[in-house]
Amino acid sequence: MKLLISNDDGIYALGIRTLANCLAEAGHDVTVVCPDRERSATGHGLTLHQPIRAEIVESLFHPTVNAWACDGTPSDCVKLALWALLKSPPDLVLSGINHGANLGTEILYSGTVSAAMEGLIEGIPSIALSLTSHKSKDFQPAAKFAKILVEQLALKPLPNLMLLNVNVPAVNWEEITGVTLTRQGVRRYVDVFDKRIDPRGKTYYWLTGEVLEDVEPPEGLNLSNNVPIDVDVIRKNYISITPLQYNLTYATGLEQLSNWEFHFS
């Protein structure tokens, strides 16, 4: 398959190198276009008020991989690749492997998920891949599963255009319990801002925080309670796959608001 790979951890991240090399060694036609530096938690931001530059990167990936480093956001990278750098569209867009989980409401901020979502917006099925640990540096199990998933999609394409948000537990391959489809959960944090004083005595704030709890999504989203939430299955060493879409219309909300009346004098 012809694959476009991006990320938000940057061109030198071990996760993207492990993923791209694994898929190239499996015989896929791999192109990498990703940020030239760390761009985590940039969401779906695009660069509009300055030029975007991309440079060819050599000797960093498998010899068959074509790679560019871009000074834009993760979404910039995918959009630039699809509209300017690639001669023809890829069969699949992959983003990752992210160093850290993208579970629950974290996906709303994730540059990893946004890069994959950009592929989806352009009509290409996409996969966001994350290793659920900031400490572990063993990306091989996640790359191995990505290879299996890509091979399966080559034989049996997705029935509808969607993004698969894949989170892989940070354990050895033999310790992975299995793979399960999930729905997006909700993550709540505590101590979100750390207040500090700089050397000149001025106050500044550093965004930090730890997960306080993982909870069920609100009712009314038309999601089956029989499907587990992503944040739960990871604790049991399952690989979580959550199908996502970019249309955020709240269908139940349309029904609930249908009897509203507005009167203009």
- The first and second tokens of residue 49, run together, are 């008020």
What residue ranges do the domains of the chain occupy?
Answer: 2-183+225-246, 187-215
Distance CA 184, CA 167 (A): 12
Please name every residue paired with 17 in a beta bridge, in sequence order, or none if there are none. none
The tally of CA atoms less than 13 A away on the side-chain side of residue 63 is 0
Helix 140-155 / helix 14-25 crossing angle, nearest 10 deg? 40
Determine the 3-state secondary structure of 54 from DSSP: strand
- Enter the pTM of the model: 0.90
pLDDT per residue, tens digit, the chain (265 aa), is 999 999 999 999 999 999 999 999 999 999 999 999 988 878 888 889 999 999 999 999 999 999 999 999 999 999 999 999 999 999 999 999 999 999 988 898 899 999 999 999 999 999 999 999 999 999 999 999 999 999 999 999 998 999 999 999 999 999 999 999 999 887 776 667 788 899 999 998 887 766 655 566 566 566 677 889 998 999 999 999 999 999 888 878 888 888 898 888 7
Task: Fold for 2-183+225-246, please state it.
Answer: Stationary-phase Survival Protein Sure Homolog; Chain: A, (3.40.1210)
User: Which of 132, 67, 83 shows the shortest CA–CA distance to 106?
Assistant: 132
Six-digit token string for 93 = 């867009």
